Structure 1
């Protein structure tokens, strides 16, 4: 019998409208029981995966870097590019921000929340203010800063376990 090496098959992860690459990578890794190091080795990208999970996109990801990732996660490069800030848009990788009201509707991190000039929640269409609530940078209960989106397993504060969705009650209107 012939021994044929097979490519590993991974669980497909649904891409969400406006989802950040950091959140997507963390979700993909958890669903496929991978660590960041394992995903880095599979793609051959090394520390780049860890940088992207931390929302560090300087230098901006290249087509050559995104192609091996696209092959592993089975998503077109164009779709991965949609998870990144548009060229020329400045983002703030820290602090991690979120809108509790948006998170209650659809529990995932949006890349728009990290745009430098965005201080309130943004809807699906870029730059359209949706809830008119100031974005949060820390838990409204214990004031712990939010972890990177790749680490959002339960959608709650890692310190006091307050769900992100309930934090909307304490968000300030702008």
Structure 2
């Protein structure tokens, strides 16, 4: 065996953002695809623990342009795409409880940032009230970054099946 050192660029698995996806859900997908933690992503981007705050949808203070540029380099996504995962300027967020439309999730499984807007109580697409807990066991939803199996982590009811118990608005 030789002690040859190979000269190559590190690589990552590219994760494409989904339309309206929340930063929390995106970061969770990116971390799983690359076997990383939020801490490692923050360290690599040289922005520290702020990434862990974003995963929890704690966006106050709002991410700076410099932070977004640093994250964009690590996740290989353009800054404008990262901005689409955040609330628009002037929009108030409510990071807790996590909200979800089971009908939307059943169609395309990911967390939408708009579900966390403070004034948002219903899904405009399905005219259903947003859920804040499992319709079976009433456990509050985990942060979207942790949605690995697309179901309640307590009783395993799928998010899509929860749509049957969503109230029409």
Aligned with 2:131 (options 116, 136, 141): 136
Q: Secondary structure at the match of 2:160?
A: helix
Q: Are positions 1:146 and 2:141 aligned together?
A: yes
| 80-89 vs 37-46, which moves further | 37-46
Match of 2:50 in 1: 48
Aligned with 1:166 (options 157, 161, 167): 161
CA distance in 2, matches of 1:164, 1:42: 33
- Cα deviation for residue 7 of structure 1 reads 4.0
When the two structures are aligned, how many residues end up with a matched partner? 167
Contact 2:16 2:77 in 1 (8 A): no
CA RMSD of aligned residues (A): 1.4
Query: What's the TM-score, normalizing by structure 1?
Result: 0.92
Match of 2:105 in 1: 103
CA distance in 2, matches of 1:130, 1:44: 39
Q: Secondary structure at the match of 1:131?
A: coil
Moved over 6 A (4+): none
Q: Are positions 1:11 and 2:6 aligned together?
A: no
Alignment of 1:110-121 (within 5 A): 110-121=112-123
Structure 2 alignment gaps of length 5 or more: none
Match of 2:71 in 1: 69
- Cα deviation for residue 35 of structure 1 reads 1.2
Contact 2:22 2:112 in 1 (8 A): yes
CA distance in 2, matches of 1:7, 1:167: 44
Query: What's the TM-score, normalizing by structure 2?
Result: 0.95
Structure 1 alignment gaps of length 5 or more: 122-128
- Cα deviation for residue 2 of structure 1 reads 8.3
Alignment of 1:77-96 (within 5 A): 77-96=79-98
